[in-house]
Amino acid sequence: QEEFTDTSFSEKGTFGVVVSKTGTKRFFHRYRVNGTKRRDKLGTYPSVSLADARQRAIKNVTQLHEGEDPVAIKSAYRDSDTF
């Protein structure tokens, strides 16, 4: 696996893509909350475009500025009842 990061996206973490040996491209946003490292999986290319992944990372930054943890929000939503 190789990891590529966007050096211009330095506010509240790192935005990037991991390319597997088979060529699969997965976008991520890496950040810290209260000293704990977090990594949010933003999606896999081409299902998620670079522009969409960047927008998801920007949304994460907005949530971080509001004192929320984007990964915790996703986990809570995933674990909640849907009926």
Q: Indicate the pTM of the whole model.
A: 0.87
What tens-digit pLDDT sequence spans the chain (83 residues)?
999 999 888 778 999 999 999 999 999 999 999 899 999 999 999 999 999 999 999 999 999 999 999 999 888 877 777 66
Query: Whole-angstrom Cα distance, residue 33 to residue 23?
Result: 31
> Which neighbouring-strand residues pair with 76?
none
Closest by alpha carbon to 41, among 23, 53, 24, 55?
A: 53
What is the token pair recorded at 28?
């991520």
